Structure 1
Amino acid sequence: MMAVFQDWIAILLRWLHLMAGIAWVGTSFYFNWFDLSVRPPKGEVLKENIRGTLDEIHGGSFYYHEQYWPKTHPERLLVHAWPAKTTLITGALLLAGIYWYGARTYLIDPSVADIGPTAAIGISVASILACWFFYNELCFFVEDNRKVMAVMAVFVALAAYGYQHVFSGRAAYIHVGAMLGTCMGLNVWTSIVPHHIAMRKQLNAGEALDLRHGDQAKRRSQHNNYFTLPVTFAMISNHFALAYNHHRAWLILWLLMAGGVSIRHYLNVLYKEDRKERPLLVVVVAAFGGAVGLSFVRPAPPPVVGPVDTATAMAIVQKRCVPCHSQKPTHPTFVAPPGGFMLDTPEQVMAKAEKVVQRTNVSRDMPLGNATAMTDEERAQLKVWIEGQGK
């Protein structure tokens, strides 16, 4: 009963996190496009202190926008902070409920670093907070946004490398995303919203706007815009075992993130200057091509001498796979075989032969978090036995 209740909490929390994230990313993309696309007005305008105007069409209607600095507080003013705050809160709850609560299953891989749950959770919390404090201080001391992004690129590379040598592959990728996602969420919470509030207070008090508040809010908003594609990739990376279980997973992730940032910069230049910065497309292709090419480079498996008999293969399966993939799992995390995938008998293993080889020898994401400590030699032996049975 409790397991079912916990599953429903996870389902609803993931759903809320996804929907809030979609709303946040959509808002970020839209307003960044809007800010870069407005142009000086050519005719009569409706408001004062116009920065630019924009016409667009959507859903069968035409729209006209003016971007301006008001002299009085608008009667009806829409704000867009809650999607970001909701994404941050639900993301933290999911990280705690999955990777911290299930640390032995999802966070720790004994073949990577044989550490206890307390140490692993401590590293998780400390590293995420350290990234935020580093980035936030960097923004205070460095005004040039290009330098901030360059320094953060180095920081992310080092963090990805470090995570790969401490956590499981899935957890390493998720933590890089959580690290940058936390920076994005706290940018909204501690910088963008407070500057907005300060501007609204000035208008309510009848004071002239201090445009420095707007500049600071806009700066963090632009940073978030560049972080968006890297973070969204990391957040859905649990589906990409080919990448996160690679022996150079940190570099694959960094290349994909660099490609995502380059895509955003290409689009931003296009919106602002109506100019196609084609060298950026070369960078995108090189980054993605490098990640794809690197995925084909894998260490050679240990040699297996002679054929492997069924008794040896099934002993490996019983010890490394059946604790989860059984009609009655003994692993404390599961009350039923994940995905209905059972490997109790040789017939059941052969019925799923292609997937077993794929998950144990190619993507290498099974056993989950290598919780049962399957060795490279055992993976190779299982593969040899399955391929022998198919002949």
Structure 2
Amino acid sequence: METPEFWSTVILDTTAWPRSITAAMPQLGLVTAALNRSKECLLTMSIAIDPEHPAEETILRLLGQHSHRWKEVDLVIDPQSWNFLASSKGNFPLLDKLNIVCAGDSDGSKTNDTFKIAPRLKSVRIMGWSGALPEFAWKQLRDFVYENWEGDIFSLEMLRSLSGHASCEFLLTTSEIPADLDLAPVTASISALILTLVTDPDPLHAKMILGAIFEALTFSGLTSLHFPHYPARRPPWNQTHFLKFASRSSLSKTLTSLDLCVVIERQELLACLSILPLLEFLRLSDDEYQATDHHLITDDLLRSLTWKPDHSNLVPHLKTLHLESLIHFRDAALLQSITSRVEAKRSSKGLFKLRIHYLPGYDREVSVEFVSQAAELGLVLTIDHSYY
């Protein structure tokens, strides 16, 4: 009872509480006891508030009294309930990580500025927001994640306000976004963009959404562009709009990290790599949902990545190659490609790194002989199976 750190993590979900305020008194007592016993320790909280629970206002005002100790907070809250935290506005001196899940609908007529003043806030994640985004001190953020799984309201405007040190991630369900998506042009200075697109069965629709996003964006110093693996149907690549986007953003002079877990043809990929000479990290992926006769990572692709004596090489500065694969290539082809780069000593700041990740449906594993030969090269090799 006299160990404050023991009480400094608060997990509260009123959807599991009794619906009567009288019956919920023991739970309210525990919340009060935890806040008191944690004394002046920084608070890590995961709070889900049922907007129809009679204790909603009591809980939010109680938590708000300790806002000066909030450090990391996950908050599921109805948009209409922000006023219960109004007295805490401007009193978040130690808050550095905030995740907000907005349950309910909002007409967006009033912008929420509860967390606008939070001098240490660096990481923000918003999921399911309907209407206008809250106000933050955008320039101080380093990581901003926006998840929109259901709403058809989507904007890139916040990118304008983020600094050149920031990373921004969008997680979108393309089936919920209209095919005639018209986004206002945005010029931004962020360093990293992550696009996770959960696509619908209509590949043309998803391709149009990706094209609209590319068409709207221009970056001045983008170093990382990632389309990470999500355990669902992958987005089809939009080559035409990407090439225009890459030219407009001068990616040939800035981009060093590329993650392409998308449906892309080999020739399209090679054309992309040919205009990105500064790449040091490259992740490529087969599509386990595609027909078995269509694979990206094959002997032909590996031959295209092999170092050539005449220096007509794709991604000449590559240091890390991550393959998410169904293993439809020969070990010899991969070994030749990697050996050529290791022997050319193109990785001046460290050993060449190779990661092989087996996707669901892989037919075989790389051989023991391959692993042994990779070790003789001094290669940093990681092999793992699917975690999806």
Q: Which has the higher helix share?
A: 1
TM-score with structure 2 setting the length: 0.23
